[in-house]
Amino acid sequence: MISGPLAPMILADQGADVIKVEPPGYGEAARQIMSYRAGMAALYANCNHGKRSIGLNLKMTEGLEILYELVRDADVFVQNWRPGAAERLHVGEADLREINPDLVYASVTGFGDDGPYADRRSYDPIFQALTGYISAQTNPQIPIPDLVRNAVVDKATSHQLAQGITAALLARERGAGGQHVRVAMLDAALSFFWPDGMMRHTLVGEGVENPMTPGERFQMLATSDGQLVTWMGSAEQMRDGLRAMGRADLADHPSQRGRPMLEEANQQARAEAMNEAAGKLSTAEVYERMVAHQVPAAPILTPSEVFEDPQIVHNGAVLEGEHPVYGRYRRVRPPLQFSATPCEQTPPAALYAEHTDEILAELGRDAADRERLREMGVIPTPR
């Protein structure tokens, strides 16, 4: 629902013409997820704007033939079924390569094309558990591992896939021909977690020092009326954090300089001093002090408060629009900004099979032929 659809949406934001092929009935499952209104669900909207939707029954010969017609002139085909499903539907790489030899065929799997877990159902929390995310989400004050409570692995997979598709298209332009781009969510999860999450397991063997306790530089301070996060990435920032909290005495103490400040007892003393001082101040007061001392910090905003943050407002990061059927909606602006080829705002997410007639007309199917396909159940009847 995310790992496959989000990647083509990223490419749509960058100018690609994306056609989403959806199954008969009600389309893909994400259309039925919570936050639903007038034929549109929020999860679907957030992963599918800029695409056109066609409803096709690929288990019928006529539906498969229409897909083949679309593939004939396509640059890229993306699927995210479990291994073997595409082949059973006759839309595997070998099937489509016969139609379009230069096609970039892209596929997402959970665990990979083969191996002991390959046939298992795969969802984001499973990969978080297997690759270290959950064990890393441990607050020292509440030592119980927890999930990252959004689909971080799905999204990491999609961004990998979008970049891989772009690389494959560039390689094709340079003469490499079409190829198969594969990404397993398990591999994407570990790759995304690795740079900072596996620092303690990167240098192997004897003589490796681990002076910082895990997550010590991430500190969540409880204030008198809320919470605030700080990131003190250098020794000077750690001392500035103490000064901001009125603890210049500790900041200037020998225990907070040089190697001694990395000792666990001195780290603990620093954390306790910060928490004690923050508890006597409001979030706004702590935030103001941290900013004044140039210590990276931010209040913990609720989703509703995100829309009011001055920098997010300044960046124009959230866009609003009105759809004639499902009404007012919000979406996030694409984060990539191109100086010479700026992204144009793409259309909102399509209703199920909204563009079926339009796409079939482009393939040369007239109104009578489209009606025949509807009567056969190959394409859906407009609602």
Q: How far apart are CA 114 and CA 242, in angstroms?
A: 53
Cα angle vertex 156, ends 138, 120, to 5°? 85
Q: How far apart are CA 152 and CA 357, in angstroms?
A: 36
What is the H or E stretch that residue 376 is in?
helix 367-376
Q: How far apart are CA 54 and CA 82, in angstroms?
A: 22
Cα angle vertex 31, ends 304, 12, to 5°? 80
What is the H or E stretch that residue 71 is in?
helix 61-72
Give me 252's structure tokens.
Answer: 């200037």
pLDDT digits (tens, 9 = 90+) for 305-326: 999 999 999 999 999 999 999 9
**Half-sphere exposure of 135 toward its Cβ, with a 13 Å CA cutoff?**
9
Task: Give the residue ranges of DSSP H helices in 116-251.
Answer: 124-131, 133-136, 152-173, 185-197, 235-244, 248-251
Residue keyed to tokens 């124009």: 316
Q: Which of the 8 DSSP states describes residue 2?
A: -
Q: How far apart are CA 376 and CA 373, in angstroms?
A: 5
Domain map of the chain by residue range?
A: 6-195+306-376, 227-299
Q: What is the pLDDT of residue 268?
A: 87
Q: What is the pLDDT of residue 143?
A: 74
DSSP structure string for 262-326: GSHHHHHHHHHHHHHHHTTS-HHHHHHHHHHTT--EEE---HHHHTT-HHHHHHT-EEEEEETTT
Q: How far apart are CA 116 and CA 83, in angstroms?
A: 13
Residue keyed to tokens 């969540």: 220
Contacts for 7 with CB less than 8 Å, ≥ 6 apart: 78, 106, 108, 157, 158, 159, 161, 162, 165
How would you label 244-262 residue by residue, b for 16+ Cβ within 10 Å and e otherwise?
Answer: bbebeebbebeebeeeebe
Q: How far apart are CA 381 and CA 383, in angstroms?
A: 6
Which value, in Å, is the radius of gyration of the alpha carbons in the chain? Answer: 26
Give me 343's structure tokens.
Answer: 């992204």
Give the three-state DSSP class for 370. helix
Q: What is the pLDDT of residue 139?
A: 72
Architecture of domain 6-195+306-376: 3-Layer(aba) Sandwich (3.40)
Contacts for 279 with CB less than 8 Å, ≥ 6 apart: 222, 223, 224
CB 255 within 8 A of CB 261: yes
CB 169 within 8 A of CB 8: no
Q: What is the pLDDT of residue 78?
A: 98
What is this structure's pTM? 0.92
Q: If the chain, 383 residues long, is cut into consecutive pieces of 10 residues, what is the mean pLDDT of each piece?
A: 96 97 92 89 97 97 98 97 94 98 97 95 94 86 83 97 98 98 98 92 88 64 93 90 96 91 87 94 97 96 95 96 96 95 93 97 97 96 82
Pairing of strands 104-109, 180-184: parallel
Q: What is the pLDDT of residue 216?
A: 55
Q: How far apart are CA 167 and CA 182, in angstroms?
A: 12
